[in-house]
Structure 1
Amino acid sequence: MFSLKNKKAVVTGGGSGIGKAIATLFAKQGATVHIIELSEDSGADALKAITDAGGKAHVHACNVTNQQEVIDTFQVIGPHQILVNNAGIAHIGKADNTKEADFDRVMNVNVKGVYNCLYSSIPLIKEAGGGVIINMASIAAWVGLSDRFVYSTAKGAVMAMTLSVAKDYVKDNIRCNSVSPARVHTPFVDGFLKNNYPGQEAEMFEKLSRTQPIGRMASPDEIAGLVLYLASDEAGFITGCDYPIDGGFIKLNS
C-alpha cells in the first residue's frame, strides 16, 4: 500500500522539518523526489538522507516568490504526478502591530509562493495524465490563534485555494487537498525557543506541547504519513478536503 513507484514528486521547502520528512518518505515509497529550496545547500541534508537510503532525489534552487524562477524550475523538472506546497514562513503579531513589510513577506511566500507553484505545476500534471496536489495549511486557518494575524490570513488563503483548485481540475484527473497541522516539533521550534526564551527552553517547550489536548507536539514524520496517504492511489476518492492533524486542538479545545 501507499506505493509511489514510477511517480515524480515535487516538494517545496523539502530541505528541513516537515518538508524533509515528506521528501524522505516519498523517496522511501519509490518516488523520484524533486526538492525546491532557496539554495541547493538548504536541500543538501535531505538529498543525502534520500540517496544514502537508496532513493532518488534532486534539489533545485528557487525562490517560490519569483514566478519566472518557479516557471523555469518546473520546466526543468518536467511532467510530474505529485506537488506538495510545503514552503512557508511564520510570523508573530496582531493586526495593529504587524508591519507592512512583514505582512508582504509572509503573503509573498505563503500565498503567492503557493500560487506560483500551482500556476507552473498544473499544466505539467495535466501532461502527466493527472495527479495530486497537497497544500500545507494550518490549524491557524480554522481557529483564532493569538498573535498570528498574517500567518492565519495566509493559511486561510491556502485552504481556499485548495478548494478552488479541487473544483477547477477534478475533470482533469487532478485531486487537491490540504493538511492543517497544529504545533510540530521541528528545528524551527527549537530555534524560536532559543531566540525568544533563552534559559527557559524546556519550560516553554512543555507549555507549548500542552496546548494540544493530546499533550505533545506532532513529529514531522506523523505529518508526512498523512501527506503520503493523500498522495497515494489509496486516497483516489478524496479531493477538496482539509485534514487537521492537531492532537485534538480544534475540536477538544472548543
Structure 2
Amino acid sequence: MIDLKINNEEIMTLQKRIKEFEEERDLIRFIQHEINAPLGAMNGFTQILNEDYENGKELIPRLYSLSRKITSVNEVMKTFYKSKEELSAEASKKRTSKLAEIIKENSEIFLPNLKNREIQIYHRNEAFSKVNYELTDMLLGTIIGDTVKWSPEGEIAKFAINDKDEFYEILFENYYGKEMIHSNIGLNNGLGTKIIDYCIKKTGFEIEHYNEKRINPSLYSKVKKIGKMTQPLEDFSKIIGLHGTKIVIPKVL
C-alpha cells in the first residue's frame, strides 16, 4: 500500500524548491537587466565619441557614472552569492543576537568608507528574534547601504528601529536632492528592493513598501512617518524626498 502522507510531503518539498528556484531566477533576470541597460548605453556613448569626439566628450562623465553603477551591482552580487554559499553550508544555523550588534556589524562590513558620514541609529529594545543570521546580515546591510548611499554629503543618514506591541518595526529614512538620483553610484532602489524582498521571503519577515504622493510642505511634519513622498523647496529648484520602508519582524519565526 502506498504511503500517501510521505508522497504528499515529498510533493510539498518539491513545490517549495521549485518556488525558491523561480524566485532566484526572477532576481537573476532583474540583475541582468541592471547590468545590460548601462552596458547598452555605454556602447552607444562610445560610438558617439568615436564618430565625433569634440561634440561627444561631454558624455565622458556619464560613461564614468555608468561604469561605477555596473561595479556597484557587481559588488552587491558578490555579497549576495557569498551569503548564499554560507547558507548552503550552514542551512539550519540560527542564533539569538542583539539588534544593536547586528546593526553595528553591518555598518562596519557594508559601509567601510564612511569616515566623514554620520549615521544615527535609534532603537528602544535590543532583544532580537532567532533568525537566519546570514540573511539578516544581507537584509540589514542592504537597508543600511541604501539609507546612507541615498543621503547626500552633509546629511545625516537615519536608521530607526522601534519596538511596538508584538512586532519590531524597522523604518529607515533618507533624504536626497533631485540631482542625487542621477549622480548616485551606489545601490539603486530597484536592485536594493529586490534583494530586500528576497531576504524577507527567506526569513519569514513581512515587508511593506510605501506609495509616493505629492504633498503640501506645510503637511510635511504630519506625514513624515508614513512613507515615500516628495516636497518642493521654497525655490522649487529641487525636490527633497523621504523614502521609507517598514519591515515587520515577528518575535517568533
Task: Give yes or no for TM over 0.5.
Answer: no
Flag the structure with higher helix content. 2
Q: Which has the larger radius of gyration?
A: 2
Give the TM-score of the pair, scaled to structure 2: 0.28
Give the TM-score of the pair, scaled to structure 1: 0.28
